[in-house]
Amino acid sequence: MPNPTAAMLVIGDEILSGRTKDANMHHLAGALTEIGIDLKEVRVVSDDAPAIVGAVKALSAGFDHVFTSGGIGPTHDDITADCIAEAFGTSIDVRDDARALLRAHYDRNGMELNSARLRMARIPDGASLIDNPVSIAPGFKLENVHVMAGVPSVFQAMVATVLPTLVGGAPLISRSLRVTRGEGDIAGPLGVFAQNHSDLSVGSYPFQKDGVYGANIVVRGTDADRLDRAMETLSEIFAT
């Protein structure tokens, strides 16, 4: 059986403007790879409701799992929760269990649970909460969409909460071979190798450092023995 598939939706003007560098995609890709869920697509959209709603609908229909990051904080531009509710045609309001989490947190810290902070307790009907051990304000899951914060430390904590609840497949394994030849020289034999190993993913990634140039050939698959045999063949092809 093929591995389950996933997509990620990164939400925020600050990402598209270049002001903030997204680290969450890298973390999620690695975490999903380890449990055998294939991340197939990543989209980045602005803080624009129609764009978010459209992307959520498309990705939810196209993949087994969708993970969003960003836009669930206390400010006016945090509109992700409302957009998720709209995408699935459900209502949204402050929920008692989410409110209780926030109240306990802010009481412990001597802070007021004001109207802005209470926005983080607004959860679409039918959603289940995602635990946030870092800053308490929960994410949530609605159907196959996991909605999480954009702050990397919080996102990573939420991912750690979600992953044990998912059924994965065969973890993806990779092997690499460093070749000190230009891609123009290796393209022909590498193409033949890829055709003969169509069950594996074969990629070439050029490098140039200290006057030395070449390519790192990376082969990925789920069967370690198959990968080892393929790498033996590849090493023979590019033996110096």
Domains of the chain: 5-165 (3.40.980.10), 173-237 (3.30.70.2860)
User: Where residue 214 falls among pLDDT bands split at 50, 70, 90?
Assistant: very high
Residue 38: φ, ψ to 5°: -90, 115
Dist. CA 101–CA 128, nearest whole Å:
14
Instruction: Name the percent of the chain in helix, strand, coil, to the closest 5.
Output: 40, 25, 30
| Interval 142-173: pLDDT, tens | 999 999 999 999 999 999 999 999 999 999 89
Angle at 53 (CA atoms; ends 126, 59), nearest 5 degrees: 85
Answer yes or no: pTM beyond 0.85: yes
Dist. CA 201–CA 187, nearest whole Å:
15
Residue 162's alpha-carbon distances to 17, 64, 72, 239, in angstroms, are 29, 14, 17, 44
Output the pLDDT for position 104. 96
**Span 61-66, average pLDDT:** 98
Query: What interhelical angle do 80-87 and 49-62 show, nearest 10?
Result: 50
Beta carbons of 37 and 5 less than 8 angstroms apart = yes
Output the pLDDT for position 99. 97
Instruction: Using the Cα atoms of residue 227, residue 231, residue 234 and residue 236 in order, give the sign of their dihedral.
Output: negative
Scanning the structure block, which residue is given the tokens 């023979």? 236
Average pLDDT for the chain: 95
Share of the chain above pLDDT 90, in %: 94
Residue 209 pLDDT > 90? no
Beta carbons of 69 and 44 less than 8 angstroms apart = no
User: Where residue 240 falls among pLDDT bands split at 50, 70, 90?
Assistant: low
| Interval 128-142: pLDDT, tens | 999 999 999 999 999
Count the helices and strands in the chain (H runs, E runs). Answer: 9, 11
- State the DSSP H helix or E strand holding residue 208, giving kind and residue range, or none if neither: strand 201-209
